[in-house]
Amino acid sequence: MSEPTPEEVVQEIVQALAAAHAQRVRGFIAVRCTGPREVDHARETLIRTPAPFPWKSLPASELDPPDLLGYVMHASEARGPCFLAYGLPRGRDGAVLERFIELINVAGRKYVMAPYLMVLLLTIDEIKDLSRGAPQLWRSRDLFVGWPVQDAASRFVPAVSGASPANRGGAVAASGGGVRGLQSAIERAGGGVESIFGNIQINDYEITGDTYGLAPWAGAPFNAGDEVPPYIAAAAPPAGRRWGRTLAAGDEEGAAIIDACRLLLDQRKSEHARQELARAAKRFRGSHNGPATAECYVLLGSASEIRFDHSVALEWYEQALAVYEHIGDDPGVSDTLNMIGRLRFVHGDLDGAFSFFDRAMRHDEEAGDELRLASGYRRIGIILEERNELREALLLYERAAEIERRNGDRFALCRSLHHQARLHQRKEMFPEARELLSQSLAIKEELSDLSGLAAGYHELGNLDLRQGQYESALDAYSRALEIEEQLGDVPGIAVTQAQLGLVHRELAEYPASVKALSIAREIFYRLQSPYVTPMESTLDGLRVMVNTTDFERLQSEARVYVGDLVAGG
C-alpha cells in the first residue's frame, strides 16, 4: 500500500479534531515523524490548514516549568485553540527530560481533565521515551498517524538553514545579520516588483538588518584594521548581541551559555540553543539578573524567528521589553521596540510597525542615542515610502546621512545613500538615482561589504528595469544573485529571483522566467510572505507560453533548488 499524502493525513487529523471540538470533548492526536525536519513540515502544514478552531504553536521545551498538560488545560477554551506541541525538552543524556515525564504523570492525578485540543508532533525517539515513561498518556490518544516522508525535505525551511558558517561569517558581520530571518531582502525590490505587481515593495533590509551583527554594530567597519567610529565604539551594544561575561560577570557558567547560544543562532542552529536559553532564563530570573534575563528572552525570540514561528518570537520580545522598561535600560527598550516593529512590518501591518518604530525613535531622541536614531530615521522612512509620503521619507534619509557623515560612519552612510537613490528612482529622477547609487556602491566595494553589494546590484537592476534596459537589468540582478547564493541569503535570493523572472518575461525567455518565479514562490511560501499570491498569478499567466511538460519540470527543478538552498546544500 502506498504512503498517504500530507493532504490525506491533514484531512484525517482535522476531521478528528473538528469532531472533538463540536462535541466539546478532548481531542488528543499523536503524529509520528521520522525526525525534526518532518516535525517542522507537519507543524507548518497544519498551521496553514483552515479549521473550525485556531491553531497555536507550542514549543514544549520552552515551558517553565515543563508542565505540558497543565499549560494546555489552563490555556484551553471552548473555541480552541488546538495546540501544536513539538520539541520535547531533553536532558543532558539526550533523552526526554525526566521532569517533563514526571509532570505528565502527575497531571493524570492532579488535574480535572478539562476538554482540550492538542496535536503532539513527535520524533521516533521521543515516542519511545514518552510511551515508556508516560504510558497512560500514550494510551489515551484519540488518533495516531504517521507523517509522510515524501517531499518533506524540499517543501519547507528547516530549523537549520543557510550556508556554512565558514562561507557566511564575513558577510554576516558586514550586513549586521547574525539573526537573519527576513534580513537583507527588504532594500532590494524597490521599483521592479512594486511597479509590475502593484504596491509590493519588498523593502526590509534596513528594518531587519541594522542592529544585528558580528561586528560591534551594523555601522562598524568589519575589516579588522579599520577604526571603529567613536560614536559607535562608545554606544551600548544592541540587545541580542551583548556579551554574557558582561551581563553575568559573577556567573561564568551562565555567561558561557549566553555566548554559546548566540553562536549557535548565528549558525542558524536553533533547537539546542533555545532549550539552553530557556534554562538560562530561569537561572537568571532566580538570581534577579534583569539584563541577562532580557538577553535570553531576545535570543529565544531570535530562535523562534529562525524557525519562522513569529507569533512565539513576538511573545519573547514583548517579555524582553517589559524587563528592559522595568530596569530602565534605554538601548534595550529601543532595540526590542524595533524588533517588534520589524515583525509587524514583515507581516504587512504598516500601522503597527510605524507605531513601534516611532516609539523607539522618540525614545532614542530623549536618550540622545545618535546611532539608534539614524537607524530609526531609515526605518520610519521606509514606512513613509510605503505610504507614498516620499518627501518626508527623503528628509529622514538625509537626516540619517548627516549623522553618519558627521561621525565618520561610512558603512551606515552607504545605506542611507541607497535609500535616497531608491526614492529618486520612484520619482523618475533616474540620473540622480544612478549617481547616489554609484556613490553607495563605491563605498560598499571599498569596504568589501558583500551583503551591501548584493543589495546595491539589485537596486541597480531595479533602476535599469524601470527604464526598460532589460539586458543591463539582467546583468545586475545576476551579480546580486551570485553574492546572495554565496552568502546563503535565502530571502534575498527570493526577491532577486522574482525580479529575474520579470526580466526574462520581458525578453520573451519564458522557460527561464517560469523557473525563476517558481523559485521565488517556493521561498516566499516558506517565509509565510504575502508575495506568494502575485508570484502564482504571474506564473498562471505564463502557462500558455510554455508547454505543460516543461512547465511541470521547471517547477520541480525550482523545488529541488530551494530544498538544497534552505538545507545549506
pLDDT tens digits, residue range 227-266?
Answer: 667 777 777 888 988 888 889 888 989 989 998 898 888 7
Q: Of 88-97, 116-125, 184-193, 254-263, give the lowest mean pLDDT range.
A: 184-193
Task: Please determine, for residue 179, whether its predicted confidence score (pLDDT) is greater than 60.
Answer: no
Q: What is the pLDDT of residue 185?
A: 36
CA distances in angstroms from 275 to 90, 447, 501, listed in the order given: 8, 37, 41
The one-letter code for the residue type at 104 is I
Residue 125 DSSP SS3: helix
User: pTM for this structure?
Assistant: 0.61
CATH of region 6-154: 3.40.50
Report how far residue 218's alpha carbon sits from residue 238's, in angstroms, rounded to the nearest whole number.
Answer: 10
Report how far residue 324's alpha carbon sits from residue 335's, in angstroms, rounded to the nearest whole number.
Answer: 10
Q: Where along the chain do its domains lie?
A: 6-154
Contact 554, 546 (CB under 8 A): yes
pLDDT tens digits, residue range 509-548?
Answer: 889 999 999 999 998 887 767 788 889 889 988 888 888 8
Contacts for 326 with CB less than 8 Å, ≥ 6 apart: 290
